Amino acid sequence: MDTAHKTDEEKKEYFDSEEVLDQKITMLAEWIKASKHFIAFTGAGISTSAGIPDYRSGVNTVLPTGPGAWEKAAKGVKGKSTVKKPMSSAIPTPCHMSLVKLHEVGYLKYLISQNVDGLHRKSGIPAKKIAEVHGNTNLEVCRNSKCKKKYLRDFRVRTAKTVHDHKTGRMCENCGKELHDSIINFGENLPEEELNNGFNESAKSDLCLVLGSSLRVTPAANMPEETSDKGGRLVIVNLQATPLDSKAFRINGLIDDVMSKLMKKLGLDIPPFTLKRRVMVTKTDVNVKNPTKKGQVGIEVRGIDEEGSHYSLFNAVETTFSASKETMTQTKEPMRFHPTKLDLNSGKLLLNLVFAGHYNEPSLKIEVPLEVLKLNSPIHFFMEFNPQTKKWSFLQNS
């Protein structure tokens, strides 16, 4: 489907002077401070500085990622990209991290994103505070109406060869039904929960900040308009013109520049990105094949997100039981270990966690006294990895 801009005017990029830009950002900062329900709406433009190309930038764009994907497809041009990165190893941008901080201090109440790159979730925006209306390349879902379990993965979940086939080949651990990727392609309906949340949050918002979206793909693009139509302020930061400019306060500049200046005017620092990981260790007797029945007691190691939902993080988990020196390794979920020579109530469990390594993170060793593990009562480890120092640190255990 050819959705590239057709005319030079549509591809034209606009820039405010430094003086005008400063005045506009000052006004935006005051509006944010006064807002009761501030939301943001993001598009592909916020991820270009992370090395992920957008869709509609023209051949002569100032962006280092070069022409957008649809521009290249429509015009048969290659263009130059000096910073292109795979989504799995892209680092959230200053814009992403600014939004995290705005949420942490209470200004930003909700985030709606058209992006599928998963950088918002990775940056630290909680799942319950974001509607990823076009899906997430790392998220697969169970479509069983009685289950609807979601699984976040540290890898690209889509495996289908045809556009409208979304089966991933994996099965739901909860109900046993087939899992599907969450990507929304043209001609497909948006997921009901994200669609409803997006419109509901937009309707009650008194300030919607659009960042890096052309606002041309509906129905998602109708959400910011809902804020304007309900009497709220609509602010658009984008290089190219959008269909909603007549209803909005336009700021013309590079996204990271605008957000960096905005944060200074708000007196807030932009936090550096760190890769946060949560690990759950459980002594369990749940039957893997039939969760409704009891099974052999063993140790389960699982990655989780901030809400406790499944998050596949490991290429492998190696366990060593200190009392017997028995070592076991699992490379597939559920990562469950049943030692043959030992009582699970004494000694130590030594874990070696081998992560996916998208940021060259090394494996991490954790020591767990077996006596603290109570049956079916998990303990949690919360740690973070600094991509700059290449070191892990523990934040808390519980």
Active-site residues, by number, are 134
**How many CB atoms lie under 10 A from the CB of residue 309?**
13
CA nearest 69: which of 13, 1, 7? Answer: 1
- Quick check: helix, strand or coil at residue 281? strand
Q: Please answer whether residues 316 and 330 qualify as being in contact, where contact means their C-beta atoms are separated by less than 8 angstroms.
A: yes
Calculate ∠ Cα 11-261-99, nearest 5°. 80
Distance CA 41, CA 36 (A): 17
Q: Distance between CA atoms of 51 and 332, rounded to whole angstroms?
A: 31
Are the C-beta atoms of residues 103 and 120 closer than 8 Å to each other?
no
The greatest distance separating any two alpha carbons of the chain, rounded to the nearest whole angstrom, comes to 73
Distances in whole angstroms, Cα of residue 57 to Cα of each of 130, 235, 268, 278:
26, 20, 31, 37
Beta pairing, strands 38-42 & 391-397: unpaired
Distance between CA atoms of residues 214 and 219, nearest Å: 13
Q: Which two tokens stand for residue 385?
A: 């990895």
Cα separation, 379 vs 211, in Å, equals 39
Q: Are 38 and 206 in contact (CB under 8 A)?
A: yes
Residue 312: phi and psi, rounded to 5, are: -75, 115
Ramachandran region, residue 376 (left: φ > 0; alpha: ψ -120 to 50; beta: rest): left
344, 327 Cβ separation under 8 angstroms: no
Tokens 């700059």 correspond to what residue?
A: 388
CB 351 within 8 A of CB 335: no
Which among 70, 63, 31, 26 has a CA at the least distance from the CA of 46?
63
Helices (H), the chain: 8-11, 18-34, 69-75, 94-104, 119-123, 192-204, 222-229, 255-265
